[in-house]
Amino acid sequence: MQKKRMLTGDRPTGPLHLGHYIGSLQNRVKLQETYEQYVMIADGQALTDHFMHPKEIAKHVVELAKDYLSIGINPAQTTILVQSQIPEIAELTLYYLNLVSVSKLERNPTVKYEIAQKGYTSNIPAGFLCYPVNQAADITLFQAEYVPGGSDQLPMIEQTNAIVKRFNKLYNTHILKECQIILSHMPRLVGIDGKAKASKSLGNAISLSDRPEVIKQKVFQMYTDPKHGKVSDPGCIEGNVVFAYLDAFHPDKETVEALKCHYSKGGLGDVTLKNMLNDHLQCLLAPIREKRETLSTHAIREMLYDGNQRARQLASVTMGMVRDAMGIYQ
Ligand code: TRP
Ligand 1 center to 9 CA (angstroms): 4
Q: Is 10 in the pocket of ligand 1 (CB under 6 A)?
A: yes
CATH number, domain of 260, equals 1.10.240.10
Q: What is the pLDDT of residue 202?
A: 86
Same domain, 108 and 221: no
Residue 1 predicted with pLDDT over 80: no
Tell me which amino acid residue 187 is: P
Instruction: Tell me the pLDDT band of 187, cut-offs 50, 70 and 90.
Output: confident
The answer to whether the CB of 218 is under 6 A from ligand 1 is no
| Ligand 1 atom closest to Cα of residue 156 | 1
Ligand 1, closest atom to CA 135?
A: 9
Does 90 map to a domain? yes
Does 223 lie in the same domain as 164? Answer: no
Through-space distance between the first and last CA atoms of the chain, rounded to whole angstroms: 36
Q: Do 137 and 31 sit in the same domain of this protein?
A: yes
CATH number at residue 163: 3.40.50.620
196 confidence band (pLDDT: 50, 70, 90):
confident
Q: Is the pLDDT of residue 82 over 90?
A: yes
- How far does the centroid of ligand 1 lie from the alpha carbon of residue 135, in Å? 6
pLDDT of res. 295 = 98
- Contact present, 111 and 133 (Cβ < 8 Å): no
CA of 251 to the centre of ligand 1 (A): 30
pLDDT score recorded for residue 163: 98
Q: How far is the CA of 153 from the centre of ligand 1 (A)?
A: 8
Atom of ligand 1 nearest to the CA of 7: 14
Q: Are residues 153 and 240 in the same domain?
A: no
Does a structural domain hold residue 97?
yes
pLDDT average, residue stretch 207-217: 97
Q: Is 192 in the pocket of ligand 1 (CB under 6 A)?
A: no
Q: pLDDT class for 195, splitting at 50, 70, 90? A: confident
**Residue 301 within any structural domain of the chain:** yes
The pLDDT of residue 185: 79
Q: Which residues contact 152 (CB under 8 A, 6 or more apart)?
A: 110
Q: Are residues 143 and 223 in the same domain?
A: no
- 41 occurs within a structural domain: yes
The residues, any chain, with a CB within 8 Å of residue 165's CB and separated by 6 or more, are 178
108 lines ligand 1 (CB under 6 A): no
In terms of domains, do 182 and 310 share one? yes
Query: How buried is residue 230: exposed, middle or buried, by Cβ count under 10 Å (0-12/13-18/19+)?
Result: exposed
Contact at 8 Å (CB) between 190 and 160? no
Is residue 82 located within the same domain as residue 183? Answer: yes
Residue 316 clears pLDDT 80, i.e. is over it = yes
CA of 42 to the centre of ligand 1 (A): 7
Is 64 close to ligand 1, i.e. is its CB under 6 Å away?
no
9 lines ligand 1 (CB under 6 A): yes
Q: What is the mean pLDDT of residues 192-211?
A: 92
Confidence (pLDDT) at 250: 92
DSSP alpha helix (H) spans, the chain? 18-20, 26-34, 43-50, 54-71, 87-96, 102-106, 109-118, 126-129, 131-141, 154-170, 212-221, 241-249, 253-265, 270-293, 297-326
- Give the distance (Å) from ligand 1 centre to CA of residue 8: 6
Q: How far is CA 253 from CA 61, 116, 246, in A?
A: 36, 39, 9
Do 305 and 243 fall into the same domain? no
Expressed in angstroms and rounded, the spacing between residue 229 Cα and the centre of ligand 1 is 44
Residue 196 lies in a domain: no
pLDDT at residue 303, rounded to an integer: 98
The pLDDT assigned to 51 comes to 96
pLDDT > 90 fraction of the chain, expressed in percent and rounded: 93
pLDDT band at 14; cut points 50, 70, 90: very high
Same structural domain, 124 and 50: yes
Question: What amino acid is encoded at 227 in this protein?
Answer: K
Is the same domain home to 115 and 168?
A: yes
Cβ(147) to ligand 1 under 6 A?
yes
CA dist 250 to 28, 73, 223, 242, 277, Å?
Answer: 21, 23, 18, 11, 8
**What's the pTM?**
0.95
Can you tell me the mean pLDDT for 123-152?
A: 96
Query: Counting Cβ atoms within 10 Å, is residue 203 exposed (0-12), middle (13-18) or buried (19+)?
Result: exposed
Same domain, 229 and 315: no
* Full 3-state SS string of 30-91: HHHHHEEEEEEECHHHHHHHHCCCHHHHHHHHHHHHHHHHHHCCCCCCEEEEEHHHCHHHHH
Give nearest CA residue, ligand 1 atom 3.
10
Query: For residues 60 and 10, what is the distance between their CA atoms, to the nearest angstrom?
Result: 11
pLDDT in tens, 236-273: 999 999 999 999 999 899 999 999 999 999 999 999 99
Contacts of 273 (CB under 8 A, 6+ apart): 224, 242, 246, 259, 263
> Is the pLDDT confidence value at 201 over 90?
no
The 10s digit of each residue's pLDDT in 271-303 is 999 999 999 999 999 999 999 999 999 999 999
Confirm whether 201 is domain-assigned: no
Quick check: CB of 40 below 6 Å from ligand 1? yes
- Type of residue at 117: Q
Measured from the Cβ of residue 175, the count of other Cβ atoms closer than 10 Å reads 16
Cα of 108 from ligand 1 centre, angstroms: 15
What pLDDT score does 229 carry? 86
Q: Does the CB atom of residue 133 touch ligand 1 within 6 A?
A: no
User: Distance from the CA of 80 to the center of ligand 1, in angstroms?
Assistant: 13
Asked if the structure places residue 203 within a domain, the reply is no
Q: Give a yes or no: residue 200 inside a domain.
A: no
Cβ neighbours for 327, distance < 8 A, ≥ 6 positions apart: 171
Name the nearest CA neighbour of 275 among 222, 206, 203. 222
* Residue 60 predicted with pLDDT over 80: yes
Q: Work out the number of other CB atoms within 10 angstroms of the CB of residue 13.
A: 19
CA angle, 125 then 99 then 40, to 5°:
65
Taking CA atoms only, the protein residue closest to ligand 1 atom 14 is: 8
CB atoms within 10 A of CB 93: 20
Q: pLDDT band for 186, please (50, 70, 90 cuts).
A: confident
Longest CA–CA span in the chain (Å) reads 78
- Give Cβ neighbours of residue 3 (< 8 Å, ≥ 6 apart): 34, 35, 36
Domain count, the chain: 2
- Same domain? For 14 and 98 the reply is yes
Look over the chain and give the mean of its residue pLDDT values, rounded to a whole number. Answer: 96
Q: What are phi and psi of 16, to 5 degrees?
A: -75, 150
Which residues constitute the domain of residue 284?
212-291
Q: How confident is the model at residue 97 (pLDDT cuts 50, 70, 90)?
A: very high
